[in-house]
Structure 1
Amino acid sequence: MEMPGINRPERLLDGFATPLADTGDRQNWPEGLDAEERDLADRMVRLAGLMVADTRADDPTVLDEVEWYHQMATRYGLTTAELFTCLGQLCAEDEQVRRLFDQISPGLAAYQRNAVAAYARTRMA
């Protein structure tokens, strides 16, 4: 079911310059990356749904969604509240990353930044 103001990208990472996607050749992607891309898109759409519904970024439902981002960040060594907050800030400030979020729903990158900061303040303190 589509929600107004939310786009669900079929190929979220297309056009996103990474070592895995810079050629656009999905045949050479590591096994499982397509499933991870779909999972990430699903999570971003759910977060966008909360944003469109005017759910505050510090609402427990939003923080529960951000838990996954925290788990992923922890896998890459972003274990402090300060580093996790910086990750959220990067998503809102880096043009390419912001475009990735905002293609789903305008303002999603800023909303995610605020949700990450709220998560760091309340659940990582």
Structure 2
Amino acid sequence: MSYSVGQVAGFAGVTVRTLHHYDDIGLLVPSERSHAGHRRYADADLDRLQQILFYRELGFPLDEVAALLDDQATGKADPRAHLRRQHDLLTARIEKLRKMAAAVEHAMEARTMGIDLTPEEKFEVFGDHDPEQYDEEVRRRWGGTTEYAESQRRVARYTKDDWTRIQADAADWGERYAALVAAGGAPTGEAAMDLAEEHRQHICTWFYACSHELHRCLGEMYVADERFTAFYDAIRPGLAAHLKEAIAANADRHTG
């Protein structure tokens, strides 16, 4: 059984020109020729081609590939040693690819809030606040949740204009909530519950689907975690506790 150059090219996923070149330099000389002088490849030739492509995949130059295969063909290299060498080379290649994959995964994870903005754009949007300050903690606590995955997918696409709008919407909400607290509005009042619902919708619109029960849990965290308390109380002293109660009242209103 022998095969034409076109058939071999199809089997191996290489071009006919490549096979012609391998023949010209003596790397893979077909065992047979047809009466018309056309190249015909035997099974042994296909075995050699497989070895050539193996070493080429590992980045070996053609002259080194030829030397390796010729040593094997002439008995200068122990076949078992040749296989061990291939195994070692493959193991090294796998490790290199594993490290490359890890680097790509790290880069994918780095596409978090604002990561694609330039330093200047980040400062324009967030000021002195570092939007990535708690990324590692967030990944550790919620990295396995569907909400985290959804948020990651969304924010990876956001531009500077998107973040500017998000910040502007949040600032406007904060001003109106601070005014409500200053005026003595009750957290269980209609106005406070409406603002709590607006807060939930902001999360749903920009980050992930936030149910009323999940929103209730967030409200609890706003007073349990001093960092969240400080953030909301910086808008208006006592706002974190007020918002927590308004969120709970709003959840009851919609689910009770």
Paired residue for 2:202, among 72, 76, 80? 72
Give the deviation of 1:74 after TM superposition: 3.8
Q: Structure with the greater relative contact order (CA < 8 A, sep ≥ 6): 1 or 2?
A: 1
User: Which residue in the other structure is 1:105 paired with?
Assistant: 236
Q: Percent identity?
A: 28
The C-alpha deviation readout for 1:36-84, integer Å capped at 9, x for no partner, is 11210110111111111111111111111122122234451322x3321
- Any residues of structure 2 matched to 1:1-80 within 5 Å, and which? 13-19=126-132, 30-75=160-205, 76-79=208-211
The C-alpha deviation readout for 1:19-49, integer Å capped at 9, x for no partner, is 2899xxxxxx633212211210110111111
Tell me the distance in 2 between the aligned counterparts of 1:87 and 1:106: 19
Report if aligned partners of 1:16, 1:96 keep a CA contact under 8 Å in 2: no
Structure 1: tracts of 5 or more residues without a match: 1-10, 23-28
Tell me the distance in 2 between the aligned counterparts of 1:89 and 1:14: 27
Report if aligned partners of 2:178, 2:235 keep a CA contact under 8 Å in 1: yes
1:113–1:12 distance in 2 versus 1, CA, 3 Å: farther
SS at match of 1:46: helix
2:196 maps to a residue whose letter is V
Report if aligned partners of 1:14, 1:21 keep a CA contact under 8 Å in 2: no
Worse overlay, 106-115 or 95-104:
95-104
Paired residue for 1:87, among 197, 218, 240? 218
Worse overlay, 68-77 or 51-60:
68-77
The root-mean-square deviation of aligned C-alpha atoms, in Å, is: 2.7
Tell me the distance in 2 between the aligned counterparts of 1:51 and 1:31: 30
1:120–1:46 distance in 2 versus 1, CA, 3 Å: same
1:33–1:115 distance in 2 versus 1, CA, 3 Å: same
User: Which residue in the other structure is 2:246 paired with?
Assistant: 115
Report if aligned partners of 1:85, 1:117 keep a CA contact under 8 Å in 2: yes
Report if aligned partners of 2:219, 2:247 keep a CA contact under 8 Å in 1: yes
Aligned length: 108
Structure 2: tracts of 5 or more residues without a match: 1-123, 136-158
TM-score (norm 1): 0.71
Tell me the distance in 1 between the aligned counterparts of 2:249 and 2:165: 28
Q: Which has the higher helix share?
A: 2
TM-score (norm 2): 0.37
Give the deviation of 1:86 after TM superposition: 0.6
